[in-house]
Structure 1
């Protein structure tokens, strides 16, 4: 089969897995200048990732660039799928075979991950990488790898809790308790792999598990204002909620910016796959909390947590604000939300759609500015600067990260496709 069999005129729809009507597409009005900027940034990103490619050891994936050095991760890291996924987006844009060749090499390194059952991150690891490769190259082998990955992921589903277990066990952030069945909001992002598996196999069990996990998450992971808890710990035998807390946010009752971004993106995706209206309504309420938050800066690039240093938000860990000249931003959260808002805009009324699109444009313009986007050849080949991975552990704070680049490229490709 031809390598671009999956790229007909309605390429935008296939890009994000959505069956839009022609009318839905036409009412979204991308800015001409933003379309030009998207093309410019994507072209520069091709060169930037070739810079990274030359530095990257075989068998390793880029994690961050810190203290003048490229830090890498093994294929078993949760971030392993983002680099080959980014290469596939850039190849889709440029048709540059050098990018495709390196992506295929990295995919080969990731094939063994399809059998991993030790964590929930197979969606990130395998769907962001092999999912994009399958979409563009239509390889039966890639489809089979994705289906096996879904089988591995559903092994972590427990009917009594009604959700997929994220980590096996972990100590609470204050070190006082053991969380035995922790489920994190990030897990919503892994469900797309399960919807895919049901579609290509005809087996509804994958989709059923994804929906059950979504239902449980909607019930237990959100406050009345639709801000999200990072972690919910369940009783494995009864399914009862034991605690609601954080491992990466400022406090147990704060809104960790990237966690809220995962929620917005995840529930938008689940609505796409199910057309269940309450998931769309939930996604909109989650988005409203993010984009209307009084602590969201004017450039729409959030602080790493919306409630840092606010009264009533007490970290269960030692927080030293003197470490930072200012509260760290998280460009990755903005990249995720900008991509989600472009898709979300297709499902709502025209006025709301334009609002979402305008906010996504502001985010993308900010991310594309010199304040957040690295100079050519700099930053270890990463595209974006100023993301924050894990502030409580002082891990990857105010540095580039691979998932920021991935969702930024996805957002640019989604935006660009609206003008096609």
Structure 2
């Protein structure tokens, strides 16, 4: 099953290279992706998918296309176009991946400059990385966001590459701040949390894409599962792994029978309620990361392994393997349900994490984080 699914990923992605050319897929419906220049937060997932396909097939088509797109990332960083906490999503899966796959020194240097841009968002007054806006932003000056946890590996890696522990210190402190304030007592989570920008005093948890401030947006929960697991990979701080496991168990406990998460765990359940396959795919990658750090004989490993197999099977079943006209790989992604912005369609990050999970299930290294 997994080999057939991976072949579908590679074949569909090869066709999309010819269709997309110098544009980037972002979100889409009705068999097609919406294409953008290198301006959105998701652009790195396309290059990451290209590198995964190159790793799987050895076909130079994928590497050449990823390399062809890298100058647009360099131009974007130089211009400061939409550079915020998502800089890790952009440059881990483009510049860092190219360095890892090709030993390209220019790509390494670009990834390190991107790490500087992320470190520049550190706010010592509050001890966190600011998610959006500039430091003077009246609304967002004190905001952290769960998604940022998947960007921290850029800082951990930069510390390893340069020997400058400032990068890893920022990442670890931000992860701990997120652990303390984004995770609730029942292991559910806030999407974002606000602090007083001047003093760092905590104000309260909020949401940007969830149902309401007190709900649990499933994709936010999945960012936490994978993000804390990755912080454990780099720091070996036990609370990060424990938090990842507890969040994973909460996510698994909220899954419907078919294994594809509802877009928000507090949303009404039923056939008309949007699902979010990307949340399931991200969480699945998180489970696979956690399992690498557990004793295979442990109860935690057994429970997570069973859930991972169930979730992988669910994603393969809702893939577009038997829909030859579809540009996306994975159906039923929910981008922003509250804004009615692709509540049921394709998401390039869902496609990426689906491919990463398949690579890991196939015992091939599939992580650039």
Same fold (TM over 0.5): yes
Change in CA separation of 1:404 and 1:167 when aligned onto 2, cut-off 3 Å: same
- Equivalent residue for 2:209? 248
Work out whether residues 79 and 125 of structure 1, in 8 Å CA contact, stay in contact via their aligned partners in 2. yes
Work out whether residues 118 and 168 of structure 1, in 8 Å CA contact, stay in contact via their aligned partners in 2. no
> What is the CA–CA distance in structure 1 between the aligned matches of 2:61 and 2:29, rounded to whole Å?
26
- Equivalent residue for 1:14? none
Q: Among 154, 175, 187, which residue is 1:226 paired with?
A: 187
Change in CA separation of 1:207 and 1:179 when aligned onto 2, cut-off 3 Å: closer
Moved more, 301-310 or 210-219: 301-310
Moved more, 384-393 or 409-418: 409-418
Work out whether residues 111 and 145 of structure 1, in 8 Å CA contact, stay in contact via their aligned partners in 2. yes
1:404 shift after superposition: 0.4
User: 5+ unaligned residues in a row in structure 1: which ranges?
Assistant: 1-36, 170-176, 311-323
> What is the CA–CA distance in structure 1 between the aligned matches of 2:234 and 2:77, rounded to whole Å?
23
Q: Among 262, 279, 285, which residue is 1:339 paired with?
A: 285
Partner of 1:308: helix, strand, or coil? coil
Q: Among 270, 275, 290, which residue is 1:329 paired with?
A: 275
Partner of 2:194: helix, strand, or coil? strand
> What is the CA–CA distance in structure 2 between the aligned matches of 1:372 and 1:40, rounded to whole Å?
11
Q: How does 1:126-137 map to 2 (within 5 A)?
A: 126-137=91-102
1:76 shift after superposition: 2.2
> What is the CA–CA distance in structure 1 between the aligned matches of 2:24 and 2:364, rounded to whole Å?
31
> What is the CA–CA distance in structure 2 between the aligned matches of 1:418 and 1:46, rounded to whole Å?
14
Change in CA separation of 1:178 and 1:140 when aligned onto 2, cut-off 3 Å: closer
- Equivalent residue for 2:174? 213
Work out whether residues 230 and 256 of structure 1, in 8 Å CA contact, stay in contact via their aligned partners in 2. yes
User: 5+ unaligned residues in a row in structure 2: which ranges?
Assistant: none
- Equivalent residue for 2:263? 304
1:179 shift after superposition: 4.4
Work out whether residues 77 and 83 of structure 2, in 8 Å CA contact, stay in contact via their aligned partners in 1. no
1:227 shift after superposition: 0.9
> What is the CA–CA distance in structure 2 between the aligned matches of 1:178 and 1:145, rounded to whole Å?
31
> What is the CA–CA distance in structure 2 between the aligned matches of 1:72 and 1:101, rounded to whole Å?
20
- Equivalent residue for 2:316? 368
> What is the CA–CA distance in structure 1 between the aligned matches of 2:94 and 2:258, rounded to whole Å?
30
Work out whether residues 232 and 244 of structure 1, in 8 Å CA contact, stay in contact via their aligned partners in 2. yes
> What is the CA–CA distance in structure 2 between the aligned matches of 1:118 and 1:103, rounded to whole Å?
20
> What is the CA–CA distance in structure 2 between the aligned matches of 1:105 and 1:229, rounded to whole Å?
38
Change in CA separation of 1:39 and 1:372 when aligned onto 2, cut-off 3 Å: closer
Work out whether residues 87 and 118 of structure 2, in 8 Å CA contact, stay in contact via their aligned partners in 1. yes
Q: How does 1:82-231 map to 2 (within 5 A)?
A: 82-115=45-78, 116=80, 118-168=83-133, 178-231=139-192
CA RMSD in angstroms, aligned pairs only: 2.0
TM-score, scaled relative to structure 2 = 0.92
TM-score, scaled relative to structure 1 = 0.82
- Equivalent residue for 2:329? 383
Change in CA separation of 1:346 and 1:325 when aligned onto 2, cut-off 3 Å: closer
Moved more, 140-149 or 348-357: 348-357
1:309 shift after superposition: 3.5
> What is the CA–CA distance in structure 2 between the aligned matches of 1:408 and 1:360, rounded to whole Å?
12
1:250 shift after superposition: 0.7
1:343 shift after superposition: 1.4
1:38 shift after superposition: 1.8
Q: Among 39, 42, 48, which residue is 2:12 paired with?
A: 48
1:274 shift after superposition: 0.5
> What is the CA–CA distance in structure 1 between the aligned matches of 2:140 and 2:60, rounded to whole Å?
46
User: Deviations for 1:270-329, whole angstroms, at most 9, x for unmatched residues?
Assistant: 000000111111111111111123xx111221000011148xxxxxxxxxxxxx961111
1:418 shift after superposition: 6.6
Partner of 2:245: helix, strand, or coil? helix
User: Deviations for 1:217-257, whole angstroms, at most 9, x for unmatched residues?
Assistant: 11111110121101111111000122311110011111100
- Return the index of the structure with the highest Cα Rg: 1
Pairs aligned (count): 359
Q: Among 330, 336, 345, which residue is 1:399 paired with?
A: 345
Partner of 2:363: helix, strand, or coil? helix
1:142 shift after superposition: 1.2
> What is the CA–CA distance in structure 1 between the aligned matches of 2:30 and 2:7, rounded to whole Å?
27
> What is the CA–CA distance in structure 1 between the aligned matches of 2:103 and 2:286, rounded to whole Å?
25
1:38 correspondence with 2:11: no
1:112 shift after superposition: 2.2
Change in CA separation of 1:397 and 1:202 when aligned onto 2, cut-off 3 Å: same
> What is the CA–CA distance in structure 2 between the aligned matches of 1:68 and 1:43, rounded to whole Å?
19
Q: Among 22, 26, 33, which residue is 1:63 paired with?
A: 26
